[in-house]
Amino acid sequence: MIASDVINRASTILFDNTSVRWPVSELLNYASDGEREVILHRPDANAINTRVQLVGGTKQALPVSGIRLMRVVRNSGTLASPSVPGIAIRECSRLAMDVENPDWHFDSATLPIKHYFFDPIDPRTYYVYPAAPGTLGSNAACYIEIIYSATPAALTTVGQTMTLQDQYLNPVLDWVLYRAYTKDASYAGNLERAQIHLQNFANSLQVKMTIQWASSVNSARAQEMASQMTAPR
């Protein structure tokens, strides 16, 4: 899908086809935020399956655009044999490894990589075992295949192709409308409209949200809605 698929629908629903109250640039920002929010709750919405070169040692990091490691799949060759797929790499418990072999980070580097270790509290970092040889020689550098969730590209024009696939159009549209109506929450009914679109967004992704609404017009009503704002997992 392209950005205009979302922006045009949003402008029509907002009765702002001339983009006076909500300029196109503002709606594009909302759509960019919507893509990021979708990926925050559904990392698989922008899963990248790619081949990466390991740095020397056990500690590895995702590419710059990476948000969260999802899986390490297999060895994927060396500089000398870049197209030769290797053995599968198994996820193991780092705690068990630490107990069994506390010095495993200092074991000799060798190929192929057999195990990887991942902790969700540090989602951009992972460890491999045995340690990767590094890049001292042309035959030493090694590659593995990983799957990770990546940051979407910011939207700057309505003709730009969006990062997410077509099936995520409605959640992104609901996020745009939620942000747009929140901007005008002081007008009668807009707070409720914003709440409905955020609820639709949560329902589409099957996530649970707790929202603290604030309104200078009706804060008591906003608090009541906040206490009821949930969506099934």
What pLDDT digit, counting tens, does each position of 4-32 carry? 999 999 999 999 999 899 999 999 999 99
3-state secondary structure of 126: strand
pLDDT the model gives residue 223: 43
Backbone angles phi, psi at 219, to 5 degrees: -65, -35
> What 3-state DSSP class applies to 210?
coil
Per-residue model confidence (pLDDT) at position 217: 38
- Determine the residue type at 158: V
Q: How many CA atoms lie within 13 A of 129 on its CB side?
A: 18
Q: pLDDT below 70 — which residues of the chain?
A: 79-83, 135-140, 208-233
- Break the chain into its structural domains and give their ranges: 3-42+153-228, 45-150
Q: Give the pLDDT of residue 99.
A: 96
Q: Tell whether omega for the bond before 85 is within 30 degrees of 0, i.e. cis.
A: no
User: Which residue's entry shows tokens 């990091």?
Assistant: 61
Report the pLDDT value the prediction gives residue 168, as an integer from 0 to 100.
96
Taking the CA of residue 197 as centre, how many other CA atoms within 13 Å lie in the half-sphere pointing to its CB?
A: 22
Q: How far apart are the first and last CA of the chain?
A: 26
DSSP state of 211: -
Q: Please classify residue 49 by burial: count the beta carbons closer than 10 Å to its beta carbon, then call 0-12 exposed, 13-18 middle and 19+ buried.
A: exposed
